[in-house]
Structure 1
Amino acid sequence: MSAPEPAVGYTEAEELDVRSLPVRYCRLRTGTGEPVAELEALSFRQRFGASAVAAEGIGGVETQPEFRRRGHMSRLLSQALAGMANRVDVAFVCDGIEGVYEKFGFVTAVAEGHLLVPVRNVERAAGDCLGAAVPGVHEGSPADLPAMIRLYNTAHAERPWTHERHSGWNRLVPQATWKPGSRTLVLRTASTPVGYAVLEGRAFGDPIGSLTVDELVAKDAAAARLLLVAVARLCWQRRLGEFTVREPADSLAGRVARHMGCTYQQRFPQSGGMMAAILNRWALLHDLEPELRRRAAGHHPHELYETASDALRRGTLLPDDKVLIRLLLGHWSTDDAYTHGVSIPEQYGDICATWFPGGGTPSLPTPYAHRLDRY
């Protein structure tokens, strides 16, 4: 006979991670204290457009090898999500396993995308001057972080899925002897930072066959152009033909790169990847009321707007929360919803079209998950 399954208990504890950030650890342990499974719940404010709401993200999910395939992870996720629902109204996963999180209400709700920029194109746009240093571009330091945070929050003030970065934010990857860390280039005008680029670090011994920019943010098009030239110059020195910029195509960096000539590659996973789930529908929609009013922009009669809002909160309009979260985040438009068989009553068709135009439209930028905010 096999040994009986040991009794397992659930605990939650808020601790500080290696960067002194508060993280809630959700754990299963046996009665003797032996670890069974664990996940981390991280707190942040996530944008749905011009409004940001309190949210938590699931990361670091792991079951000890000797306890796997016994249903412990399902129990852990269920209990952790129940606790999260008492604190926030929406949950996220930035690297979900295919076919696992859907049973807990999650859906894939943002696409992966990045720019591929040929060095030759930047060189032409810069007037063949990659041999010279770019004026105003310097190596960044911790003292630049407050300005970088302000630039980022301004640049992506209406972009769904991005985080509203707080004043103490620092998700730059620290450098170590055998591990790559973030390298930051900062562009200053009259000693004031007007743009920055965070380069993905390269460990000692790594091949030099690629260069990736994890983030590139600028105050204006001229600053974005100078930063792209500075990155292209690094590639020119390493004899690289192109570089990657992890920014959306409709960002300022994306628009400047597109003018120079580049490729934008995007992937839409059917399952897994970056996922979201509504925990408390009514409360989430209450907090997002200013955002829905902004999108509607007064184009609908007051009475119709109030009736539609009430129907949306009660779930008589768009009752499937998985559909709703994709629409709220701009991953889907109403046209996408129709394509997937979603029914919207005729009287609410126009207002839903303004509420849910999809990302990459005048009222709603493309949703994008920046690399430095993933967990």
Structure 2
Amino acid sequence: MDPEVRSLRVRYCRLRTDGGEPVAELEALSFRQRFGAVAVAAEGIGGVETQLEFRRQGYMSRLLRQSLAGMAQRVDVAFVSDGIEGVYENFGFVNAVSEGHLVIPIRNVERAAGRDPGAAAPGVRNGSSADLPAMIRLYNNAHAQRPWTHERHTGWNRLVPSTTWKPGSQTLILQTGGTAVGYAVLEGRAFGDPLGSLAVDELVAEDAAGARLLLTAVSRLCWQVRLSDFWVRDPADSLVGRVARHMGCTYQQRFPPSGGMMAAILNRPGLLRSLEPELRRRAAGQQSDKVYDAASDALRRGDLLPDDKALIRLLLGHWSTDDAYAHGVSIPERYRDLCMAWFPGGGAPSLPTPYAHRLDRY
């Protein structure tokens, strides 16, 4: 387990035989997950494993049920970072975030930059561990209201370390007047692998000019090894996404029907109480207090949107109200305008696209 995961609160949930022989185990990791401008206490399931001789005998189902019952005593919502297809739906989980990345042709970057593709981007240098505090600040400022985001705290370091056969994460820092104003983290590759593409795990900048300079620096690296394009793992409605769209790019998004990144509501009333400030922010006074309070009470009771699987997708912005209608969800006419404000779907002005940043997955 890497140092950052160890820094999280981890509970090990295990099943053993009467003689003490291990049967199955999983990890329950504690963190705070964002639903927009509000972060709530949550737990995630990881490290799920059953010993070979005990598989297909129902032990993992038993362990998951017991673990989720324990989690429900501590938090109101649970997550899975990499769910197995066809398994977690049986325990109340649904896919709640999609996978996406920008594909940027270096020719487009060169044209937008108007410079020699081999020339160095001004102000961009290689990074080091000393740059982590500035990177944490820049990341939190850029993604503070994005659903599925973890706020990064002092000491965060999920960069991939260098090993014998893999160079690990490469970091570029954009500096102005002695201050870091942007960064890019390039995905490490195994030594000996054919270099067919270059992927950027994160690219964050304070402004559009900084984003263009960092994209230019990455484009130069591609030009040096004769690559025609590169990936940036960032949502299309981020600052970097908007700059890349202006240059000309492709956004590739995947919506798996099962497995992948999933979420489940454990305690509806508690979760909605925690998210009350966020729901009021989204509503922005569009309805009278009387209508708002009645709808809020109905939502907590389950009279409004009784399906928890639909609700978690709506709260996180994976679905909009129109998506819910398309899937047969019924909403009383008197609450429709408020639900449109509460659940606009990711990519709306009041709610950025939900995105699981690769360096924060467990």
Q: What SS is found at the alignment partner of 1:164?
A: coil
Deviation at 1:180, TM superposition (A): 4.1
Deviation at 1:179, TM superposition (A): 3.1
Give, in whole Å, the separation in 2 of the partners of 1:186 and 1:135: 11
How is 1:161-176 mapped onto 2 (pairs within 5 angstroms)? Answer: 161-176=148-163
- Partners of 1:28 and 1:37 within 8 A in 2: yes
Q: 1:39 to 1:180 in 2, by over 3 A?
A: farther
Gaps of 5+ in 2: none
How is 1:223-234 mapped onto 2 (pairs within 5 angstroms)? Answer: 223-234=210-221
- Partners of 1:36 and 1:63 within 8 A in 2: yes
Deviations 1:12-63 (A, max 9, x none): xxxx864441322111122333221111111211110111111111111111
- Partners of 1:44 and 1:164 within 8 A in 2: no
- Partners of 1:136 and 1:188 within 8 A in 2: yes
Match of 1:145 in 2: 132
State the AA in 1 paired with 2:97: V
Give, in whole Å, the separation in 2 of the partners of 1:86 and 1:127: 58
Question: What RMSD in Å do the two structures reach over aligned CA positions?
Answer: 1.2
Deviations 1:222-254 (A, max 9, x none): 111100000000000010000000000000110
Give, in whole Å, the separation in 1 of the partners of 2:20 and 2:179: 53
Q: Does 1:42 align with 2:29?
A: yes
Match of 1:92 in 2: 79
How is 1:4-153 mapped onto 2 (pairs within 5 angstroms)? Answer: 18-19=3-4, 20-21=6-7, 22-153=9-140
Q: Does 1:313 align with 2:300?
A: yes
Match of 1:238 in 2: 225
Give, in whole Å, the separation in 2 of the partners of 1:78 and 1:61: 13
Percent of paired sites with the same residue: 79
Higher mean alpha-carbon deviation, 264-273 vs 163-172, is at 163-172
Match of 2:190 in 1: 203
Deviation at 1:108, TM superposition (A): 0.5
Match of 1:154 in 2: 141
Match of 1:5 in 2: none
Give, in whole Å, the separation in 1 of the partners of 2:3 and 2:356: 22
State the AA in 2 paired with 1:166: H
Deviations 1:278-299 (A, max 9, x none): 0111011000000000000011
Q: What SS is found at the alignment partner of 1:282?
A: helix
Give, in whole Å, the separation in 1 of the partners of 2:28 and 2:127: 31
Higher mean alpha-carbon deviation, 162-171 vs 231-240, is at 162-171
Deviation at 1:129, TM superposition (A): 2.0
Give, in whole Å, the separation in 2 of the partners of 1:175 and 1:76: 36
Provide the TM-score with structure 2 as the length reference: 0.97
Q: What SS is found at the alignment partner of 1:270?
A: coil
- Partners of 1:47 and 1:163 within 8 A in 2: yes
Give, in whole Å, the separation in 2 of the partners of 1:197 and 1:83: 39
State the AA in 1 paired with 2:70: G
Give, in whole Å, the separation in 2 of the partners of 1:160 and 1:213: 21
Q: Does 1:345 align with 2:332?
A: yes
State the AA in 2 paired with 1:206: D
State the AA in 1 paired with 2:55: R
Q: How many residues get paired?
A: 360
Match of 1:185 in 2: 172
Deviation at 1:329, TM superposition (A): 0.3
Match of 1:332 in 2: 319
Q: What SS is found at the alignment partner of 1:331?
A: coil
